[in-house]
C-alpha cells in the first residue's frame, strides 16, 4: 500500500489510540507502517510485531521475521537462517526465523493493544514522558530496547517524516 493510502486508511485507529493513551497518532501510524510494510504484512491485523509468548491460546500466529542479536545461539520455534553481520559498527547475528505473534480481529484492536504494551511495561516509563512527540518517542522506545535492530530509531524517524507529509 502506498504511504498516502495507508495514512488515510488507518489514521482513524491511530487518532483513537492517541485519544485513549496520549501516544502520538503520527508515531503510531509510522510504527504500524514500518512494522507491517505499509500494511502489506499485517497478517491477522498484526501491525506492530507484538510477540505472543505462549503460542497456545488461539490469538497467535506463527510468522517469519528478522531478529538481531550479539548471541549466535538464540532459540525460536523455527530458525531459517543465521548470518553474521555488522550493524552500526557492531558484530551481530541476523536471524531469519518463525516466531509467535499476536493476531487481532480488527486493526483497532491491534493499535490499542500496541499502545497498552508501552503503558504496561515499566521499561517504557521514561519514553512515555515524551509520548506526544513522535520523534522523541521513537528515540526513547529504541533506547529502552523496543527492537533488536540497532538502526531502529533512525529507520522509524524516516517513516515518521513520510507519515507527516500525508497526515
145 in Cβ contact with 65 (< 8 Å): no
How many helices (H) and strands (E) in the chain?
Answer: 6, 3
26 in Cβ contact with 164 (< 8 Å): yes
**Catalytic annotation, pick one of 67, 91, 133, 149:** 67
SS3 57: coil
Catalytic site includes residue 78: no
Catalytic site includes residue 67: yes
**Catalytic annotation, pick one of 113, 126, 139, 149:** 113
DSSP 8-23: HHHHHHHHHHHHHH--
What is the number of residues in the chain?
167
Residues that are catalytic: 67, 113
Amino acid at each position: 500500500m502506498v504511504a498516502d493510502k495507508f495514512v488515510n486508511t488507518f489514521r482513524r485507529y491511530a487518532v483513537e489510540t492517541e485519544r485513549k493513551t496520549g501516544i502520538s497518532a503520527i508515531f503510531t501510524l509510522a510504527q504500524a507502517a514500518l512494522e507491517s510494510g505499509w500494511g502489506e504484512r499485517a497478517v491477522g491485523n498484526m501491525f506492530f510485531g507484538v510477540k505472543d509468548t505462549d503460542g497456545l491460546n488461539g490469538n497467535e500466529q506463527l510468522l517469519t521475521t528478522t531478529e538481531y542479536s550479539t548471541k549466535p545461539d538464540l532459540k525460536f520455534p523455527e530458525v531459517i537462517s543465521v548470518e553474521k553481520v555488522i550493524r552500526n559498527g557492531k558484530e551481530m547475528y541476523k536471524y531469519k526465523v518463525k516466531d509467535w505473534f499476536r493476531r487481532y480481529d480488527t486493526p483497532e484492536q491491534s493499535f490499542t493493544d500496541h499502545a497498552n504494551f508501552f503503558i504496561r511495561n515499566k521499561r517504557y516509563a521514561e519514553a512515555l514522558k515524551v509520548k506526544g512527540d513522535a520523534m522523541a518517542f521513537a528515540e526513547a522506545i529504541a533506547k529502552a530496547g523496543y527492537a533488536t535492530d540497532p538502526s531502529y530509531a533512525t529507520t522509524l524517524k524516516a517513516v515518521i517524516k513520510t507519515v507527516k507529509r500525508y497526515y
